[in-house]
Structure 1
Amino acid sequence: MVTTPTKDKAMLKLCPQSIGILLPCEPFKVKASEIMGEELHIRFEPSAPQGRCPHCGEEQTVHEWREIRLDGPPTAIHSHTFWDVRYRVCRCTFCEAFNTEPIPFRFGRTHCTTYLARKICDDLCGQDQSIKSVSKRYGLSWDRVKGVHKEYLLSLKALAPQPEPAEVCAVDEFAVERNHRYATLVIDAKTKLPLHLHKGNAAKDLEPFFSMYGKRFYDSIKAFAMDQNTSYSSVVSQHLPSCTIVCDYFHIMKNYSEQVTDCVRRRTGRQFLRLGRKEDAQRIKCSAGLLNRRFPAEDEIDDEAVWSAKLMLQTMMEENHDLDVCIHMREKLQYLYDNCRDVSAMRDGWIGWCDMAMQSGVPELMQFAIRKRKLREQEIINHALFPVSSGVIEGCMNKIKVLKRVSFGLTDYDYFFLRVWQAFLPPETNRVLSDRLWNNYECTGCAKEDAA
């Protein structure tokens, strides 16, 4: 029985009343309740005698009584609800083992009821929900909310099966702190499921990945897509000598844009400024997106804005020889990546492309060809065998950026990596694992009302 105040219409005063409601508290019972300002305190005691020792089955005696305060869901008229639970620590008379009485409605090792924990975790499953907003909604501290959600994610991951062997993996780094602090992420390129998360982007941060799974898992990996990170490629070659390292389309185009197109654009803008052509210099300065844009075929363009942008690009190419050469060479490189699926054809095409780059007379393009041919030639040719892209993992980074904003603080990297892992779980798998977890708590299904 819980005592709550109600308003008498005639007297307009609060009068104590007794209301019977169902509480998910078996095998405990309500001993008393007390209202302190806006807080409701409900006190519980065991309703059954102490059982037998779980180790030997003999009788046990009460060694001491303890109390714990659990957060319950807020009611309509109480901003905070506390469940003050009194429980026993028993001592076996035969094996002398000390056994603590379990509290079924306590969520894991947290100071929170299972019913409230489920509501918190359901809210935080939405990627737009931050810990701060959820803690404010339930009148809890942010560290209590984070602790409950971390306990939930740990239990969820313990129930998750081992990932299926991946044929193609992708590895990349993402920023987690200022001053160029990064973390390493390995995913299955097909399912986008995270296989490894570790703070740091050095070779030693990828090493633990090769001891997490069984031999069958690593034997199935045929290719690794990555950027031009030498430390990653050396570790993969050391542990998986037969694995093919692929310099994928996304990163080769990204490097071409940064090292060739943008450098030529800035150099051209400076030349215009020296000649006093300020309007042309400003137009070149603001054309980074236009110069790196990939237009569809002319017969596929049906938007006037796209036609206007394409004509503007053609005008800029006619006015500047170096930009014209860079864009045509980029299109030839894109053609190689899109169409060559034979190693010999890819090798011949790549060598021919490098020869044309050396004859172009554009310094930035020549340096790009020399650097890639010296360091990444075989990885570029490998794209014909495995036409994969780590653009998938780059897309995953956008979701991780959202999680960084809603995961309060990055000092607890274990919690942050757990949230990243859950974010990429298939929705059906996430639902099944979550249902299994909550079904393990016997009292969860008893609470149908929002009242405490």
Structure 2
Amino acid sequence: MGDATFPGAGWEGFIATRFVPLSDSQCQIDLIPDPQVPARCPRCRRPCSLIHDTTVRRIRDRDLFEYRVWLSVPIRRVRCVTCGVGREALSWLAPRSRLTHRLRQHVEVLLTLLPIKQIAELTGLHWHTLKSLDKARLARDLPEPDLGRVRYLVMDEFALFKGHRYASVVIDAETRQVLWVGEGRSREAIRPCFQWLGPHCEHIEAVAMDMNTAMDLEVQAWCPRARVVYDLFHVIAKFGREVIDRVRVDQANQLRHDKPARRAVKRSRWLLLRNPENLKGEQAGELKALLDLNQPLMTVYLMKAQLKELWYARTERAARWRWTRWFNMAQASGLAPLIRFARLLKPYAEGIIASAAHRLNTSVLEGMNNRIKVIKRMAYGYRDSDYFFLKIKAAFPGNPR
């Protein structure tokens, strides 16, 4: 096209002189310095009339109609009498950047709405470029937690990749803000969280978690006032796996000569694990018939219900009495899986009893884990764990106190 000038197009200090179509979907706009606007020193921001040298740089701007816009920009290095030589400061372009502020702002809005893969197809920008923009945005915009007001924590783990690789997450139980995320679930992996909390560890009163010994020991080492509270869901799930399933399999093996009875026991797993209020249709009748005919299954089923009651005690004294009664009943049951489980659970009894004083659980984190899976699925997985952890923190900024 012929030469023309387009002042006021958003490129302060420059004038557009030519619009050149490069293809059906791309164009180039040539810029020249505006003689009425002096270049400025990048350090002191003072006008500089001495130009050291000039380099033409190709810059992406926001799309114009159906065109992807490229700018041909002569970037000058100025010689400041105070600061020396430096590349001129531009209000619409960050140092060393190949994207205008206008395009960056547009992309940042898209990043809050769409997966990176779709934005890459829409804008023509590389996946890594978009990831860098998003990572910088998240680090800039994430709200700083008020650690001085944190009193209760919830800790849990989630699968990071396939192959038993995990990450640990810590939230403020009151605001539900994700405070910290780190790769691994060992004591060494969790320790940076408490190092980051620093003196605020003194204010922590209780921490909810599953029966992860590494988390337990690290809390005791860093938070002298904090009480560990073990989550009901994890303990009952462990009881289902290690006691109910084991007794059910043993009973099925003893009934190998009675095929109908053996089949009924083998297929009863979900009847035994499901809460009574969640049974549908004839399932309640099937469960009653099964328990009436099989005393060991009846015992472990009732012991599961009694174990749950420990978390609903009104006082620690009542919880301790319930625990002692439950433990003695388990030892007197004569069922090896139940006896073994009760003995393994005994060192964790104080964390169960503490639930009477601190009504904490990890159920909120279980819900968060589902959303974390969605975040991971939308991106088809993350190769940068730090970026993934920033996405998690941004998804759970917390509620006002």
What TM-score, normalized to structure 2? Answer: 0.88
2:195 matched to which residue of 1? Answer: 211
Query: Deviation of residue 381 (structure 1)?
Result: 1.5
Query: Deviation of residue 295 (structure 1)?
Result: 2.9
2:282 matched to which residue of 1? Answer: 308
Greater Cα shift, 224-233 or 305-314: 305-314
Query: Deviation of residue 387 (structure 1)?
Result: 1.9
1:410 matched to which residue of 2? Answer: 382
Task: Confirm or deny: 8 A CA contact 1:42 1:83 kept in the other structure.
Answer: yes
Query: Deviation of residue 203 (structure 1)?
Result: 0.9
Looking at structure 1, the residues matched to 48 and 267 of structure 2 have their Cα atoms a distance apart, in angstroms, of 82
Looking at structure 1, the residues matched to 95 and 290 of structure 2 have their Cα atoms a distance apart, in angstroms, of 65
1:222 matched to which residue of 2? Answer: 205
Q: 1:84 aligns with which of 72, 77, 81?
A: 72
Answering whether residue 176 of structure 2 is matched by residue 187 of structure 1, we say no
Distance 1:118 1:267, change over 3 A: farther
Secondary structure of 1:403's counterpart equals helix
For each residue in 1:40-68, what CA deviation from the matched residue of structure 2 results, as whole angstroms up to 9, or x when unmatched? 12233443212357449585622222344
Greater Cα shift, 242-251 or 134-143: 134-143
1:9 matched to which residue of 2? Answer: none
2:51 matched to which residue of 1? Answer: 62
Looking at structure 1, the residues matched to 14 and 376 of structure 2 have their Cα atoms a distance apart, in angstroms, of 41
Structure of greater relative contact order (alpha carbons < 8 Å, 6+ residues apart): 1
Distance 1:254 1:106, change over 3 A: farther
2:269 matched to which residue of 1? Answer: 288
Distance 1:285 1:61, change over 3 A: farther
Answering whether residue 319 of structure 2 is matched by residue 319 of structure 1, we say no
CA RMSD of aligned residues (A): 2.9
Secondary structure of 1:232's counterpart equals helix
Letter of the aligned partner of 1:105 in structure 2?
W
For each residue in 1:266-322, what CA deviation from the matched residue of structure 2 results, as whole angstroms up to 9, or x when unmatched? 3334444x2251x555554444333222233xxxx9xxx734332222222223222
Task: Confirm or deny: 8 A CA contact 1:336 1:349 kept in the other structure.
Answer: yes
Distance 1:118 1:93, change over 3 A: closer
Looking at structure 1, the residues matched to 245 and 168 of structure 2 have their Cα atoms a distance apart, in angstroms, of 28
Letter of the aligned partner of 1:218 in structure 2?
C
Structure 1 residues 131-170: aligned runs within 5 Å: 131-157=116-142, 160-164=143-147, 165-170=149-154
Looking at structure 2, the residues matched to 93 and 332 of structure 1 have their Cα atoms a distance apart, in angstroms, of 82
Structure 1 residues 225-304: aligned runs within 5 Å: 225-272=208-255, 274-275=256-257, 277=259, 281-296=262-277
Task: Confirm or deny: 8 A CA contact 1:42 1:82 kept in the other structure.
Answer: yes
Answering whether residue 182 of structure 2 is matched by residue 198 of structure 1, we say yes
For each residue in 1:68-108, what CA deviation from the matched residue of structure 2 results, as whole angstroms up to 9, or x when unmatched? 43333334433x32233332222222342x33323333468
Distance 1:288 1:117, change over 3 A: farther
Letter of the aligned partner of 2:286 in structure 1?
M
Secondary structure of 2:390's counterpart equals helix
Looking at structure 1, the residues matched to 27 and 145 of structure 2 have their Cα atoms a distance apart, in angstroms, of 44
Secondary structure of 2:345's counterpart equals helix
Secondary structure of 1:376's counterpart equals helix
Greater Cα shift, 382-391 or 309-318: 309-318
Distance 1:337 1:249, change over 3 A: same
2:340 matched to which residue of 1? Answer: 367
Task: Confirm or deny: 8 A CA contact 1:89 1:100 kept in the other structure.
Answer: yes
Looking at structure 2, the residues matched to 306 and 427 of structure 1 have their Cα atoms a distance apart, in angstroms, of 37
Looking at structure 1, the residues matched to 42 and 70 of structure 2 have their Cα atoms a distance apart, in angstroms, of 30
Answering whether residue 394 of structure 2 is matched by residue 422 of structure 1, we say yes
Looking at structure 1, the residues matched to 58 and 399 of structure 2 have their Cα atoms a distance apart, in angstroms, of 34
Looking at structure 2, the residues matched to 49 and 234 of structure 1 have their Cα atoms a distance apart, in angstroms, of 63
Structure 1 residues 35-74: aligned runs within 5 Å: 35-37=21-23, 38-47=25-34, 48-51=37-40, 54-55=43-44, 59=48, 61-74=50-63
Answering whether residue 316 of structure 2 is matched by residue 343 of structure 1, we say yes
Secondary structure of 1:341's counterpart equals coil
Query: Deviation of residue 17 (structure 1)?
Result: 12
Answering whether residue 16 of structure 2 is matched by residue 30 of structure 1, we say yes
Q: 1:121 aligns with which of 108, 111, 115?
A: 108
For each residue in 1:306-344, what CA deviation from the matched residue of structure 2 results, as whole angstroms up to 9, or x when unmatched? 343322222222232222111111111112212x13122
Looking at structure 2, the residues matched to 46 and 289 of structure 1 have their Cα atoms a distance apart, in angstroms, of 75
Query: Deviation of residue 27 (structure 1)?
Result: 3.5
Looking at structure 1, the residues matched to 91 and 292 of structure 2 have their Cα atoms a distance apart, in angstroms, of 76
Looking at structure 1, the residues matched to 159 and 362 of structure 2 have their Cα atoms a distance apart, in angstroms, of 17
1:436 matched to which residue of 2? Answer: none
Unaligned segments of structure 2, at least 5 residues: none
Query: Deviation of residue 363 (structure 1)?
Result: 1.8
Report % sequence identity.
Answer: 27
Task: Confirm or deny: 8 A CA contact 1:124 1:130 kept in the other structure.
Answer: yes
Distance 1:181 1:42, change over 3 A: same
Number of residue pairs aligned between Structure 1 and Structure 2: 397
Letter of the aligned partner of 1:200 in structure 2?
G
Runs of 4 or more consecutive aligned structure 1 residues displaced over 6 Å after TM superposition: 16-22
Q: 1:396 aligns with which of 363, 368, 371?
A: 368
Secondary structure of 1:90's counterpart equals strand
Looking at structure 2, the residues matched to 171 and 196 of structure 1 have their Cα atoms a distance apart, in angstroms, of 10
Greater Cα shift, 242-251 or 160-169: 160-169
Looking at structure 2, the residues matched to 420 and 413 of structure 1 have their Cα atoms a distance apart, in angstroms, of 11
